[in-house]
């Protein structure tokens, strides 16, 4: 049934676009998503965005589920000009809003002042800014293409000396700003698509990634195919020292492996232990996996 849970916040239609969530009332992941979806709807409404959110109970609207070949719940699809694409962004309110804004706006935000650039860099955990006087250069065009590929990151373009000096960047450069680890990384490779993708995949995550359902797709779907999976109890007395050592290891092999920390104090993570043939008695435990042949 339409707007069963979020009806106080949602509008069903729009001349520009709408976003539709296929939901089932017994679905635990759907229930977890619902409040974030609600917050996203309110954020978009208050900002005056033309994007509208809608919700469908696909156990009732079965024909709609069949039409869009819905295989699991929740499934989110973005509709624009009668065409739909699968949603692949975050499952929190900020992630939903950011993905939608990115999809409906230009891939690169033009930054005209140093204040605008500083605010832009602070908007998200990972932000990339290109510093080029010629914003129509071939390198910028390739950065624009890569920006379309990474829906969950913001990309900006700055062409003034004022902004470049404010952010301590070099001319004709691309800098990845992040709110963790070393805080910023300047790209120093060629501006080919493969090199740019690899640079972002290698730097968009913390050195040690704490496993959760939201991050798993990004980790295991990245261009980095080798993963050191570490099972630790967060309450163990030596956990902080172990994590610090793991960060040093990850730094040495940056771009070659992801170090993924699974907190075994989380009940839902016990199934991951079981998948690797482990129990809590084996913790701390380490497993190296390679997905290159998958």
Catalytic site residue 29?
yes
pLDDT at 162 over 80: yes
pLDDT value of residue 286: 96
pLDDT value of residue 122: 92
**Pairwise pLDDT comparison (191 vs 213), residue with the higher score:** 191
Catalytic site residue 30?
yes
CB atoms under 10 Å from CB of 217, counted, come to 11
pLDDT value of residue 13: 32
Q: What percent of the chain has pLDDT over 70?
A: 89
What kind of fold does domain 106-203 have according to CATH? Glutaredoxin (3.40.30)
pLDDT value of residue 95: 82
Residue whose C-alpha is closest to residue 240's, from 284, 196, 287: 284
Catalytic site residue 28?
yes
Model confidence pLDDT, tens digit, residues 67-99: 877 777 778 888 877 777 778 778 888 888 888
Helix, strand, coil content of the chain in percent (nearest 5): 35, 25, 40
**Pairwise pLDDT comparison (108 vs 28), residue with the higher score:** 108
Catalytic site residue 27?
yes
Residue whose C-alpha is closest to residue 33's, from 77, 94, 89, 74: 74
Beta-bridged to residue 231, according to DSSP, are 262, 285
In eight-state DSSP terms, residue 289 is E
Give dist(CA 103, CA 97) in Å, integer: 10
What kind of fold does domain 208-290 have according to CATH? Glutaredoxin (3.40.30)
Confidence of residue 6 (pLDDT cuts 50, 70, 90): very low
pLDDT value of residue 93: 85
pLDDT value of residue 28: 65
Q: What is the mean pLDDT of the chain?
A: 83
Active-site entry in 29, 95, 159, 269: 29
Domain ranges of the chain: 17-103, 106-203, 208-290
Dihedral in degrees, nearest 10, Cα atoms 31, 32, 38, 41: -120
Could you check whether 17-103 and 106-203 share the same CATH topology? Answer: yes
Q: What is the DSSP string of 170-217?
A: -TTEEEEEESSTTSEEEE-S---HHHHHHHHHHHSS-SEEEP-HHHHH
pLDDT at 11 over 50: no
Residue 95 phi, psi dihedral angles, 5° rounding: -65, -40
Residue 114 phi, psi dihedral angles, 5° rounding: -65, -35
pLDDT value of residue 16: 34
Residue 120 phi, psi dihedral angles, 5° rounding: -65, -45
Record the pTM: 0.70
Residue 174 phi, psi dihedral angles, 5° rounding: -125, 125
Dihedral in degrees, nearest 10, Cα atoms 84, 38, 116, 189: -50
- Domain at 17-103: CATH architecture: 3-Layer(aba) Sandwich (3.40)
């Amino acid at each position: 049934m339409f707007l069963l849970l979020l009806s106080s916040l949602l509008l069903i239609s729009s001349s520009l676009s709408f976003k539709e969530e296929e939901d089932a009332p017994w679905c635990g992941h759907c229930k977890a998503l619902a409040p974030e979806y609600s917050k996203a709807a309110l954020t978009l409404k208050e900002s005056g965005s033309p994007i509208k959110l809608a919700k469908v109970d696909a156990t009732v609207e079965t024909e709609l589920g069949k039409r869009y070949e819905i295989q699991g719940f929740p499934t989110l699809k973005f509709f624009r000009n009668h065409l739909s694409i699968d949603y692949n962004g975050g499952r929190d309110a900020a992630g939903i809003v950011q993905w939608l804004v990115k999809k409906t706006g230009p891939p690169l935000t033009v930054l005209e002042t140093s204040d605008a650039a500083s605010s832009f860099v602070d908007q998200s955990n990972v932000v990339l800014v290109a510093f080029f006087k010629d914003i129509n250069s071939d390198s910028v065009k390739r950065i624009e293409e890569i920006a379309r590929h990474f829906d969950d990151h913001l990309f900006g373009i700055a062409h003034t000396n004022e902004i470049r000096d404010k952010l301590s960047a070099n001319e004709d450069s691309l800098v990845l700003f992040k709110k963790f680890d070393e805080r910023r990384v300047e790209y120093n490779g060629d501006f080919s698509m493969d090199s740019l993708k690899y640079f972002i995949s290698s730097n968009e995550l913390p050195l040690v990634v704490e496993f959760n359902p939201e991050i798993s797709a990004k980790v295991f779907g990245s261009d980095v195919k080798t993963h050191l999976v570490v099972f630790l109890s967060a309450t163990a007395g030596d956990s902080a020292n172990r994590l610090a050592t793991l960060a040093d290891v990850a730094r040495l092999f940056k771009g070659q492996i992801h170090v993924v920390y699974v907190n075994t104090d989380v009940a839902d993570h016990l199934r991951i232990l079981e998948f690797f043939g482990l129990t809590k008695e084996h913790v701390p435990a380490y497993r190296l996996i390679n997905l290159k042949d998958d």
